[in-house]
Structure 1
Amino acid sequence: MDQSFNLKVPNRKYVLVEYPGRVKNVDRALKSLGGEKTIANALNKEVKTIELRYRPEDPFSHPVVGDVVPTSSLLLKVTKRKKKNQPDDEAAFKAEALGTILKSCRFRAMADFQYLVPKDEKFSRLRSSLEKGNVNEILNYKLDEEDNMTHIPPPVFSMRETPFDYAYHQFQPILRVRVRQRDGSYAIKLVNRFKRTALELISLSFEDTEIPTSPKFDLTVLKADERALADEIKKLFEERPVWTRVALLSNIAHSKHSSLRGALNANAYTFRTGPFRECWIKYGIDPRKDQKYHVYQNVDIRGTMELSHSRMGRRGTNRLLEAKIHKTPLSNEVNEEQRTSHLFDGRGAVPKSALLCLCDVTDTDFKTLIYSPGYMKSVCTKRSGFYYDCVYDRIRVLIKKKVYEYKLTGKAASLTNATQGLEEAIAKEIKMRKYDESTGFVDKGDHEEEDDEGEKGLSKEESFAKTLREIQAQGFGFGSMDLEKLAEFDFDVLYGEEADEDIVEPEDVEGEAVGEDEEEEREDKSLWELNDFDL
């Protein structure tokens, strides 16, 4: 029977570090772990990881991350004693318990790729000065044009910390077929049975002159459900030639939404820039050529859309996800609530999209602004389409104001001075921009700054504050915003651009090269351009 031992365990606590290497110098090993203080913190504090740097003196060294996990083990000291020339099996062993191991640091992750930066590199010296707090060297640092910045490594090369078994297998739809060659021999060719022709999206810039009349793919490549939906969408485009994607989704059953991509590309194209940006337009129609299409221009009310307050955020956006989780069938019918969910009437819940066609604004307060011929130009421009810039900006700001007010109070007051000052603003715009009925603004582009003699010498902040005071003087307030404190704001952040996308219904396009969205330059800010305060 094996002999048992009774050991007295002292009340001492230890941290076990499973060091991934052979330790010859304990001091250097501790330094690579961050020192004894780092290890002590792992025992006394809620530290989850310890970083191991094999080159602790190199500021660009990428660490190996070790996980600190709780354990319940004993630390034993085993002493072996034997005389000279005595066999090992006759040696005497003594075991002594030193304490308990409450936590262990285990290095299971793979080390990241390392990049050795030359020690004489300027950036290496700068980082060393930052870590050491050498103020003089930091102040004397200058970046020259001939400096080579290729020696600066990224914070991390590989995002994978653990090995991954790819388990390579041939894709099931792929078939190996023999193909006869010209010399009579046979070669093996791989054929994808499920290969599908790309449903190419036609996305134009406002400056493009050629308008597509048909899709670039054969309609026979569409699936059966896509062909059926394409016929249904074709009828919608007969009703009106321009739609937003959200408006189309509001007019088709939820069970068909997953087939929208192919059906939509079969019937319409879209613009990346201009007043019809992100609208879907029937093939063969150019809305820039005729003023009757002014009602299909879009208005962007980003900054006021919060999903938690909109009916789409509560029910529509997550409908497909909820159906997948709860196995509930999607509706095959379109009810009246869904059919009108994309409209803005100024009285009900906020629209479910941040991008509206003007024809979808049914609020009577905007009827004069949208449909009055005196507020329109005969030429379509990139910034404001067929409207004068000041009119288009007024429409956009007032819609945002109403949406913002409804979200705060649950109701929005009617507008009583929506057209106040517009006649003077239009006259001023025509005078300063030299507007011509046949060619539009001929001297200055749509995005050039106005050279106002009264504002020469003013900074951006001062000019912006002056504009806001003029608006406030005409009866439009900004809540508790103190215009005198405008200098406290960072102007670039205050006037910053937001992501150019539909925040409620993003495009569900897999693998389509649509092209990068070109953000419209809006340097020529009119009186009513108030994108800053997110009204």
Structure 2
Amino acid sequence: MSRQLSFNPRKEYELIEYPGRVVHPDRMLGTLGGIVNVSKVLGDEVKRLELRFHPQNPYNKPAFGDCTDKTGVLLSVTVRRHKRDKLRPPHYFVRVLGHCSRSFSFESLCDFQYLPLWPTPQSDNGLAATKLTYALEQTQPTDVTDLEFFKRGQSQLLCLPELFARVDLVHTGNYRIDGAEDGLQEVLGVLTKSTYDSYDVISFNMQDTFPTQADAQILKRLKVKYVSDEQFARVQKLFDECPIWTRIALLYESGVGTDKLKCIIPSLAFYFSNGPWRTLYVRYGYDPRKDFNSRHYQTFDFRLRFGTGVSEFVYSRKSAKLKMTSAAAAEEPKCDLVQNIDYPYFDEHKLPRSRQCMLRYCDVRIQKIQDMLEKIPTPLTGAICNERTGWLPPSFDAQVRQIVCATISDLLRSHYRKEHLMAEVEAVPQADEEDDGEDEETQEEDMELDDSQTMNSSENYVDKDIEQLFDNITS
């Protein structure tokens, strides 16, 4: 038989799951920093509760309790039994004292402990055994008035770090053993682990052989994605003409969409993740290490160093895509000075399409650079390329980068000079149409003289300013 007494719903308690058997509540509060420290932690939603097993030892590392949302009630159960008739069932009186909405639990790991325990020999004999002595009094004064502590010398030095371990949480790792894949399983329902699972990613080195054909699993993907024979033939024709391509060049030359091209490329070529041909797709069966003509297709990583006058034209690829979409929606005129974001080549009469351009050396359409590629001496028969620079000399990329930067500087210099001269010409007042013919001729002659002087002075002025604007580009 049980009976429930009154319940006060406004009375709320705080729950602390103490990791130990509490015999003396005062000592338990001492390990938590006292009632004052507990009150501060309970009043803060972020602060953690410290538990020190040796409160008087400053070298003791605390264990931290985290606050978690947990609902519970505090019950008081009183059992009354009959003293004479023990067979009579007892009476239970249940009383709800209050409720709690959160709790502090010590589930994290405690830091490593290094206590001031010094080895002390038990006798004067050097071979005698030693015992550990708790020497806390020798490392710190007992109170503020203990001046004798500063007079006696320390036998040993104790310097401990603030923390030994940076984290106090347990990280569990599950190791999975993948079975050998034979490529015969179905494509539908298979989740790719990364973005590179759809094609062969090869790390460039001088020892391993490169793949010669595509995996059977990749060929099945063509049927699932409904790739037409015409689209496949267009991409295959490009790889027959040139064995190495960039992704943006394949999109531009083939006219195939991105979703279809992702399925076609793995069946025709593999991908280099590093080396002289990194980020490029190479046709199966082609080894650029043995072909001297593959120097034309090596990767040229050009990154435009931004300065004054350049940032208003060239953006990152993502920003350029967004700007092109917004400009098309607002029907704004396009800038003819910058290449189209989908154009895979670099022309000397326009700025690059984005801040960073991954090009082949044959994509840089500057005659001076192409002549430099042709003048590289042919290696001996049986020679192989360098693992880092390929078939090119060590400083070839720096020379090409310097030529491209100089071309961009000249292009911007002529662009700003043209805009400045047009602004000067538009600022000249026009002659009055009602004046006499002689006055008109005189004014025209004066204007021609003024224009020539203005153009000469403005060219000198613009040249000085532009040289300062493009110092950081050519450097």
Q: TM-score, normalised by structure 1?
A: 0.43
Which is greater in Rg? Answer: 2
Q: TM-score, normalised by structure 2?
A: 0.47
